[in-house]
Structure 1
């Protein structure tokens, strides 16, 4: 089998990432050499690759689904929003500057060449490349600069599967409307539909699916059910809703639960760091954005941020900063990760990200952070309290003064800080080190007075993620038309159904004639 296709979505968070991961895992289990590809991503959830760059977290997960290490090849262009108008531009794993919408127009020709070359190379090296779109292909205001949706499909001659999330409501209109608003040339690339997160009897939905095929000439390739047990790396901030639980909390091993409040910063980055905690039985993790939600929590996590100073000011405006200081004074456990760690310090000097210079931190850890133009990008290994740990670093800030003991030694140098029941580190992914996580949770439970909480001895985050990928592959095999997807890969066609005459869908005034597929394709208007 050799071929490529693009999975697009009617909206952000429609299910593109998980469908790509599921197809990749399904084909890999069949012995096919598969690679994922997302030409352009916009996300603050990123990882460091073996080749020393950074890519979107979803593409790292998809690489794992293929049995591959993350590589900058799989996500050559990454935009990391630092505000509503400006994003850091990362090309082939390296930050090259900060851009707004107008600036980005000047880069489009260069970026298009980078994307095309990378996709061509992947197609030469692998049997199959499964591409993921970005946002929605219906964003026709961006079509001229599109690198990841119909622009990529047209340039690389990729058949497109369009995914819609029925849990949001109106999925049939979303699928039909997305197709209808596209140009005739782009419509020709849409080869089939997938409905995601369906609850209930498919028989009740079937008449609508049949009508969708009649109206568009495209088959519905399957209906993926809502899977209660499925929770994997969120692609962007849409997956980190305030007051929403993380994962599926399992009953505790001991007599008590351990509750975790993760602060939902406006520019939260690498929010997936807390998923390792949610893997533990008896640990209930929830995103919060209100100081009242910190009351009663056994542990508060201040996660990473793409706009550290801006998010620090948000902590003050919301009253969360005062709540954190009170908590620290009372000995309540707090964990700061990357930007969150920097906020817990006494002073931040930032002429790079915010340009505000010296800013006072929360002062619950004794340290100074200074931002540098160059970004630290590295995968790191070391020891914390005698336990082997690993993780990765993505940050501009450097600790220039540390008054508290270091938490660990990473690559031979001190890293992080500890003051009583307050911990901080620049390492993302640290809590995926199973032995360290267990030891640390015991310390957290003791500091929180949860003597009845017992840490499970057999939880492996790597195994949990592998099981999630296998669950995705099972859902694809059980609920999608896999032979049609294979034909789509090898021939560019999902079925032998004729392509819709695009003029018919482009003129809504014809719709009240209730024309059938046969009348549309025999040459009538």
Structure 2
């Protein structure tokens, strides 16, 4: 097999990322040399690559599905929203500008060349490249500057399969309408449909699929059933729904649960940090957006933010800031990660992201944060320092990655970690903070720290499982995806589409003028 494919979606969160990851794992298991590619992503969930850049987390997971390390080649353009109107523009892993929609146009020719070069390079190196679209190709108001959907497909002559989420309702109209609204040269590249998250008897759906094929000339290549077992590594904030649980909590090993309230910040970034906690039996993690959800929680997590000062203002506006202050005074456990760590400081001097200057933080940790360029991008490893915790969580290995403009300029609290020989993070009683994303995926460290949290929260009946590996859970999710696609996709038809031997001359539907 030799070729490429673009997986587009009728909407955001239709299932493009998971279908690409599943296809990558399915092909890799069969010995095919395969790589993922997303020309342009918009997400605040990102990771640091081995080559020192920053890409969307979904592409890092897709790389893992292929058996590859994450690389900036897989996501050459990343937009990280800092407000409703402006985003940080990351090209080949490095932030180069902060842009609004109109500002972005001036970069389009340069970005088009970057995308074309990276995709051509991957196609030369790998047998198959599975590309992921962005949003929906039906956003015809953006077609002229499109880099990730039909603009990419037409420039590179990529066949396209269109994924629709039937759980949202109206999927047949979404699929038909998406094709019909495209101009004829784009329509000719749409080779087939995939329906995602189906519940019930597929025989009841079949007459609709037959009619859809009669109307469009394009087959439905598969109907993927809904499963609540897929939840780890969400691509963006659409998956962090207020008051929703993270994952599917497993029964506790001991006699008590440990409950976690993770704050669903308006500009949350790297929300996937809390997923490692949700992998643990007896740990129930929920997203929270009001102070009442903090009252009964054993642990509160303040996650990362793409707009630290703005999200700090939100904490005050909602009353959550007061709830955190009261919680700290009562000795209740709190964890701040990256932007959340910065919010716990005495002061934040931000002349980079928000241009707000110096503002007071929550004052729960005795440190000062100053924002500066360039952005810190690094993968780090080290150990936990000895603070005499009841659980003995000292000197354990820890690893992760850092993505932040904020620097610690003064810290009179004890450092929590030692990374690459330097102190990092803070500990004050039952309050912990660090800039390190992904730290909770370090299994020994996470277990020891959860024992300390349980002791501080007064949960003696909580027992940490000794065999949970976040990496194994993630691999299990990828294998589950591949199993679902192997069972429910027409693989022969899909392979024909990828290698360019699928039927041509597909009909053009009525297009809006």
2:442 matches 1:433: yes
SS of alignment partner, residue 491 of structure 1: coil
Normalising by structure 1, we get a TM-score of: 0.95
Partner Cα distance (2:44, 2:512) in 1: 40
Unaligned runs of 5+ in 2: 385-393
State the 1:228 CA deviation. Answer: 1.8
1:499 to 499, 506, 511: 506
Q: Tell me, yes or no, if the aligned pair for 1:218 and 1:497 is still in contact at 8 Å.
A: no
State the 1:492 CA deviation. Answer: 5.1
1:280-299 maps to which residues of 2 (within 5 A)?
280-299=280-299
2:399 matches 1:399: no
Partner Cα distance (1:466, 1:41) in 2: 23
Instruction: Show CA shifts across 1:36-66 (max 9, x none).
Output: 0000000000000000000000000000000
State the 1:93 CA deviation. Answer: 0.2
2:66 matches 1:66: yes
Q: Tell me, yes or no, if the aligned pair for 2:402 and 2:437 is still in contact at 8 Å.
A: yes
SS of alignment partner, residue 129 of structure 1: strand
SS of alignment partner, residue 409 of structure 1: strand
SS of alignment partner, residue 243 of structure 2: coil
1:214-229 maps to which residues of 2 (within 5 A)?
214-229=214-229
Instruction: Show CA shifts across 1:171-205 (max 9, x none).
Output: 01111111111001111110000000000000111
Partner of 1:240: 240
Partner of 2:336: 336
Instruction: Show CA shifts across 1:275-300 (max 9, x none).
Output: 00000000000111011000100000
**Stretches of 4+ moved more than 4 A in 1?**
none
Unaligned runs of 5+ in 1: 509-525
Partner Cα distance (1:300, 1:507) in 2: 51
Instruction: Show CA shifts across 1:233-287 (max 9, x none).
Output: 1111100010111111100000111100000000000000000000000000011
State the 1:231 CA deviation. Answer: 1.1
Instruction: Show CA shifts across 1:369-420 (max 9, x none).
Output: 0000210000000000200110000000000101100001001110000000
1:78-477 maps to which residues of 2 (within 5 A)?
78-384=78-384, 385-477=394-486
Partner Cα distance (1:397, 1:404) in 2: 17
Q: Tell me, yes or no, if the aligned pair for 2:181 and 2:512 is still in contact at 8 Å.
A: no
2:495 matches 1:486: yes
Partner Cα distance (2:47, 2:379) in 1: 9
Q: Tell me, yes or no, if the aligned pair for 1:217 and 1:499 is still in contact at 8 Å.
A: yes
Partner of 1:522: none
Q: Tell me, yes or no, if the aligned pair for 1:158 and 1:492 is still in contact at 8 Å.
A: no
Q: Residue 507 and residue 322 in structure 1: after superposition, are their counterparts in 2 closer, same or farther (change >3 A)?
A: closer
Q: Give the paired residue count.
A: 504
Q: Residue 10 and residue 67 in structure 1: after superposition, are their counterparts in 2 closer, same or farther (change >3 A)?
A: same
Partner Cα distance (1:6, 1:361) in 2: 45
RMSD: 1.0
Normalising by structure 2, we get a TM-score of: 0.97
